[in-house]
Structure 1
Amino acid sequence: MTTTTALDQVSLQRRVPPLGGFNLVYLGIELKRKLRNRQTLLFTIGFPIVMFVIVGLPMRDQALTDTPISQGGPSVAAYIMVSMAMYGAMMSATQTGSAVGLERAQGWSRQLRLTPLNPLVNVIVKMLAGMLLGLLAIVATYIAGAIGGIHLSAVQWIATGLTAWLLASAVFTTLGLMVGYLVPGQNAAQITSLSIVLLSFLGGLFYPIGSMPGFMQAIARFTPVYGISEITRVPLTGAGFDPLWLVGALVWLAVFLAGTTWAFRRDTKRV
């Protein structure tokens, strides 16, 4: 009886750490774990570069807009480069899901629930690690573009890169996490990879949705890829900004974040 009372007192005295347990050390550990997976890095970073070189570079002399390339206009190759960079960021980010699936199989998620770590903080840390991995994919693709002769203004380089990173990486990291907490083991990686390919085609990442049939265009506008890709390419196309694009991206981010937090709690509620 005395022992039980003492344990209860210790449990009651245990304080929740500041910021729910968020710290840079934990973030650094998550990032290092992802960087050790060389197969994932090769696929998520190498594939967009290869696709850009094969599909994009042959079109570097073809103007994207009415402004000639000689007068500072972007090329079709630049359009493809940005799309491939965004695709790489999405793939890098969603690979977080496969890691979570393995953590669940090994019982690591339940171990975390024994700590004062806030479930939402755990999701945010993993999301930030996935975003940093996505940034690496974007930078690598842009370096390949610059070496290949893509000419953009400083504003275009920075604006397209930041938008692809902040929006695509955040949204699709949370998608990967949600799938990882819902699907067991290695299946998470297969599902997220297939989802990204399908959403990229449906959302018009690889080609303008204007070339799709009417019903496909309607579907595309409700995908998480559509708004992000349109915002990312505005600095290239010169099209007007539609606030609904951003609203759609933020709504999907909120949905995936809420779904991930719920799935994490459900997965570990028996602890």
Structure 2
Amino acid sequence: MNTLVKLEITRTLRNKKFMFFSVVYPTMLYLIFVATNQGDQVIAGTGLTFKALYMVSMASFGAITAVLMGNSERIAKEREKGWVRQLRLTTLPGRGYVLAKIASAAVVSLPSIVVVFLAAALVKGVRFEAWQWLALTGAIWAGSLVFAALGVAIGYIASGDAVRPITMIIYFGLSMLGGLWWPSAIFPQWLQNIAEWLPTHAYAGLGQAIEIGNAPGAKDVAILAVYFLVFAGGAAWLYRKDTLKA
């Protein structure tokens, strides 16, 4: 499995277009949105300035891009090209393939987080204690595993031609409704009630709690844990189902 993880990481880092959209693009969005808004304005219902709140949002958005888009499209194409079928001829177990995809995606999501943080600190003057920077990095990085598992599941549901539009709908839908693009506090109450149970809302909540000096909320952690088990379990089941078809 270690060999497969190394291979996946190397392939991803060589994909310049993918690295642009997962690392550079979220940072550009962060700088543009903060420049066109009052960065030091405190957002109602959060206790955070716009530039601090949006830093977590775009770091999370970049991490989701890296793990969700990368996994879903790559797996769908590998299935069509017969690569997955070849792997089944090796001693690699099904759970090893799923875990390798999740692990490799998590590794390449780290630059997405760090680059946004650097832009926020160096360009926009966002300041936190050292422990908060470390906790923010760890929480957002660990939370991205949920969406890495979702990417694996989508890769087994969709065909090579359909995987991109399906992933994009899920990707932008979860990002917008979960409060990554704008604070969910501005939503109508009925939409807030829906948003608070979405994995992206809980994901953003991890970083926002740390920014105000608190530990991540138990509800957010529990929601992400449940979604991870569902997505990872679904991915493993779909892998086995795909194996029976071969």
Q: Same-fold call, TM > 0.5?
A: yes
Query: Please, which of 16, 28, 53 is the counterpart of residue 50 of structure 1?
Result: 28
Matched letter for residue 27 of structure 1: V
Once residues 195 and 236 of structure 2 are traced to their aligned partners in structure 1, the CA distance between those partners, rounded to angstroms, is 27
The one-character-per-residue Cα deviations of 1:23-55 (angstroms, maximum 9, x if unpaired) are: 2x2211111111121111111212111111111
- Higher gyration radius (CA): 1
Once residues 240 and 26 of structure 1 are traced to their aligned partners in structure 2, the CA distance between those partners, rounded to angstroms, is 35
Cα distance, 1:34–1:64 mapped onto 2, change above 3 Å = same
- Deviation for aligned residue 1:127: 0.4
What residue number does 1:151 align with?
A: 127
Instruction: Say if 2:160 is the partner of 1:182.
Output: no
Contact in 1 for aligned 2:60/2:203 (Cα 8 Å): no
Helix, strand or coil at the partner of 1:43: helix
Helix, strand or coil at the partner of 2:160: coil
Instruction: Say if 2:52 is the partner of 1:78.
Output: yes
Once residues 142 and 28 of structure 1 are traced to their aligned partners in structure 2, the CA distance between those partners, rounded to angstroms, is 26
What residue number does 1:194 align with?
A: 169
Matched letter for residue 97 of structure 2: N
Once residues 137 and 249 of structure 1 are traced to their aligned partners in structure 2, the CA distance between those partners, rounded to angstroms, is 20
Helix, strand or coil at the partner of 1:59: coil
Matched letter for residue 56 of structure 1: V
What residue number does 1:135 align with?
A: 110
Query: Please, which of 54, 57, 67 is the counterpart of residue 93 of structure 1?
Result: 67
Once residues 92 and 20 of structure 2 are traced to their aligned partners in structure 1, the CA distance between those partners, rounded to angstroms, is 32
Contact in 1 for aligned 2:146/2:231 (Cα 8 Å): yes
Contact in 1 for aligned 2:67/2:151 (Cα 8 Å): yes
Instruction: Say if 2:40 is the partner of 1:61.
Output: yes
The equivalences for 1:112-261 within 5 A come to 112-148=87-123, 149-167=125-143, 169-238=144-213, 241-261=216-236
Q: Across the two proteins, how many residue pairs are aligned to each other?
A: 242
The one-character-per-residue Cα deviations of 1:62-90 (angstroms, maximum 9, x if unpaired) are: 3569xxxxxxx963212111110110000
Query: Please, which of 36, 47, 50 is the counterpart of residue 14 of structure 2?
Result: 36
Task: Judge which range, 248-257 or 232-241, deviates more.
Answer: 232-241
Contact in 1 for aligned 2:71/2:101 (Cα 8 Å): yes
Cα distance, 1:104–1:241 mapped onto 2, change above 3 Å = closer
What residue number does 2:5 align with?
A: 27
- Deviation for aligned residue 1:241: 4.6
Helix, strand or coil at the partner of 1:99: helix
Contact in 2 for aligned 1:56/1:81 (Cα 8 Å): no
Contact in 1 for aligned 2:132/2:213 (Cα 8 Å): no
Contact in 2 for aligned 1:49/1:84 (Cα 8 Å): yes
Cα distance, 1:157–1:151 mapped onto 2, change above 3 Å = same
Contact in 1 for aligned 2:207/2:216 (Cα 8 Å): no
Helix, strand or coil at the partner of 1:268: helix
- Normalising by structure 2, report the TM-score: 0.91
Name stretches of at least 5 consecutive residues in structure 2 with no aligned partner. Answer: none
Helix, strand or coil at the partner of 1:204: coil
- Deviation for aligned residue 1:140: 1.4
- Normalising by structure 1, report the TM-score: 0.83
Paired-residue identity, %: 31
Contact in 1 for aligned 2:149/2:231 (Cα 8 Å): yes
Name stretches of at least 5 consecutive residues in structure 1 with no aligned partner. Answer: 1-21, 66-72
Once residues 17 and 104 of structure 2 are traced to their aligned partners in structure 1, the CA distance between those partners, rounded to angstroms, is 17
Matched letter for residue 84 of structure 1: M
What residue number does 1:102 align with?
A: 77
Helix, strand or coil at the partner of 1:269: helix
